[in-house]
Amino acid sequence: MTLALPQFLVVSSCGLLRQNPVVKHLSDIHVYCAVLLMIIVTIQMLRPKGTDPAKSASHMFIGRILSFGIAPHYVFLGCVLNYYAIMLNVEDWQLAPPASDWRLQISYIVPFAINTFVAMAMGFWLCRYSFMPKGAATLLKWLSLASIIFWCTVGVYQTGSQAFGLGLGGFGLDPKKVIPGGTGSMAVQEFFNAENLIVFFVGNMQAGQDLVAYKVLSVIEKTGNKEIAWVDMHKWAMVDLAYQAGVIFGLFVAFFPYCLYGAPDYMCLKSPFFAAPFITFFLLPVLPLMPWAIKFISALFGGRYAEFSKGRHKWDLDAKKTA
C-alpha cells in the first residue's frame, strides 16, 4: 500500500513530483517552512510572555524570524502548491488511499490559506509597521468574510456531502473524474468519507475563527488599537495560527512517515481517525490559552472589548500615533 500526502505537503517520493522538478523543489521548501513554523510557534506558545517590551526581547526576536523569515514564504508557496494540487494531472499517483485530493484542496485548504494569511498579518504586521496601518484591516476583514462564505457554500457542500454519504462533492462531474483512481477504487472514496467527517467539523471551527477575526478587524479599522489592545489582537491571532498549525502538522506527521519509504504495510494508517492522537498532541500548547481565548471572545461579542483590553496598551504603536 502506498499513501500519498496532500500535494501542499508532499515529498519527493510522489511520482508526480519526480515528473515536475520545479513543483518538487517548491514543495520541499514549503515542507521545511512548515516544520520550522511549527517548531517556532510551539516554542513561542510555551515560553513566558510579558507586557514589558524590555523583558520580552527574546520573544520579539524569535517572532521576527517567524514573521519575516518563514511566514511569507510559507503562505506564498502554499498558495502556489495548492493551485498545482487542484490543477495538475494526478493520474500517476499511487493512491490507496491518498490523504487528500482536489476536492479537499478546494473545500478546506482555500479558506485555510485565507485564514492563516489573515492571522499572520493581524498578529505580526497590522498596526506595528508603516506598511500595514490600521486601514489594512479593511482588506483583511473582507478576506475573512470571503473565507466564511466560501466555506459555508463550497466547503460545506464538498465535505458534508462526502462525510454524510450524500454525494461525492464533485459538482456533478463524472465519478471517474471525481474519485482518484476511478470508480473502481471505492476504498479511496470510503477513506475520503471518513476523512471529510473530520474536515467538516474542523472547517466549521475554522469558519468560527474567521468570524472572530472579522469582528476584531471591524474594530481595528475604525479605532486602531485604542480599544482592542495590540497585544490582545496579536494573542488571538497566535492562538488561531497555533491551532491551524497543530491540525495540519498533526495530519502531516500522521501520514508522512508511513508507506512512503518502504515501511511495512501494517504501519500504514488505514483510517484518517488514526491522525487524531497526533493532532491532539500538537494542540497541547494551545490549551493553556483557552481560558483567555474564551474570555476574549465573550468580551468581543459582548461589546466589552475596550474594558477587556484596559491597561494592556503598552505595545500599541498605532494608537500612540493617532491619540
> Taking Cα atoms as reference points, which of 315, 307, 286 lies closest to residue 225?
315
Cβ within 8 Å of residue 135, ≥6 positions away = 221
The mean pLDDT of the chain is 80
pLDDT in tens, 115-170: 999 999 999 999 999 999 999 999 999 999 999 999 999 999 999 999 998 999 99
- One-letter identity of residue 27: S
pLDDT of residue 182 exceeding 80, the answer is no
| Higher-confidence position of 260 and 64 | 64
DSSP label at 4? P
pLDDT in tens, 258-312: 544 555 554 456 666 777 888 888 888 888 899 999 999 999 999 999 999 998 8
> Taking Cα atoms as reference points, which of 85, 133, 90 lies closest to residue 113?
85
Which range, of 15-19, 110-114, 159-163, averages the lowest pLDDT?
15-19
| Higher-confidence position of 82 and 54 | 82
pLDDT confidence of residue 158: 96
pLDDT in tens, 200-216: 999 999 999 999 999 99
pLDDT of residue 224 exceeding 70, the answer is yes
pLDDT in tens, 21-53: 676 677 777 777 778 888 888 888 877 776 666
pLDDT of residue 103 exceeding 80, the answer is yes
Backbone torsions φ then ψ of 92, nearest 5 degrees: -85, -5
Taking the C-alpha atoms of residue 179 and residue 182, their distance in angstroms, rounded to an integer, is 5
pLDDT of residue 2 exceeding 50, the answer is no
Query: Which of the four pLDDT bands, split at 50, 70 and 90, describes residue 248?
Result: confident
Query: Which of the four pLDDT bands, split at 50, 70 and 90, describes residue 1?
Result: very low
Mean pLDDT (whole number) for 82-94: 60
| Higher-confidence position of 34 and 323 | 34
283-290 contacts at long range (C-beta below 8 A, 24 or more positions apart): 283/242, 283/243, 283/246, 283/247, 283/250, 285/41, 285/42, 285/45, 285/46, 285/242, 285/246, 286/45, 286/239, 286/242, 286/243, 286/246, 289/45, 289/235, 289/239
Give me the residue label for grid cell 513566558. 48
Give me the residue label for grid cell 499513501. 3
Query: Which of the four pLDDT bands, split at 50, 70 and 90, describes residue 88?
Result: low
Question: Can you read off the three cell numbers belonging to residue 86?
Answer: 487542484
pLDDT confidence of residue 171: 92
DSSP label at 109? I
Query: Which of the four pLDDT bands, split at 50, 70 and 90, describes residue 179?
Result: confident
Domain ranges for the chain, please list them.
7-322
pLDDT of residue 82 exceeding 80, the answer is no
Taking the C-alpha atoms of residue 98 and residue 205, their distance in angstroms, rounded to an integer, is 24
Taking the C-alpha atoms of residue 178 and residue 102, their distance in angstroms, rounded to an integer, is 9
Contact 111, 104 (CB under 8 A): no
